[in-house]
Amino acid sequence: MTTPLGLPDDILAAFPATRSEIRIGYARVSTRGQSLDRQIDALQAAGCRKVFADKKSGKNALRPELQACHAFLSAGDTLIVPELARYR
């Protein structure tokens, strides 16, 4: 249900009133000598509006761009990674 202004009756509802439904990309390389260019190009070609990228080892749980990516995602968005190993 919504109010006359189109707002949800329960403003603390689990889902936002409007979904953004955008594609968000995440890229990662594990060494400073590696380049993110190929992954970022692929994510942009896939239609990602925003791309987050880390230059960190997969062993390191402190990946600030991955944390920022998770914080940026909204219900209905799609997270795209070039390959699963880059996300783990």
pLDDT surpasses 80 at 72: yes
Catalytic residue among 20, 30, 35, 74: 30
| 30 catalytically annotated | yes
Please report the pLDDT score of residue 75 as a whole number. 87
pLDDT surpasses 90 at 4: no
Please report the pLDDT score of residue 60 as a whole number. 66
pTM, two decimals, is: 0.73
Q: Which domain holds residue 68?
A: 23-87
* Residue pLDDT, tens place only, 7-54: 555 556 655 555 567 999 999 998 878 899 999 999 999 999 999 999
As a whole number of angstroms, the distance between CA 7 and CA 48 comes to 28
State the DSSP code for 14. Answer: S
Number of domains in the chain: 1
Domain assignment present for residue 5? The answer is no
As a whole number of angstroms, the distance between CA 85 and CA 66 comes to 13
Domain assignment present for residue 59? The answer is yes
Domain assignment present for residue 6? The answer is no
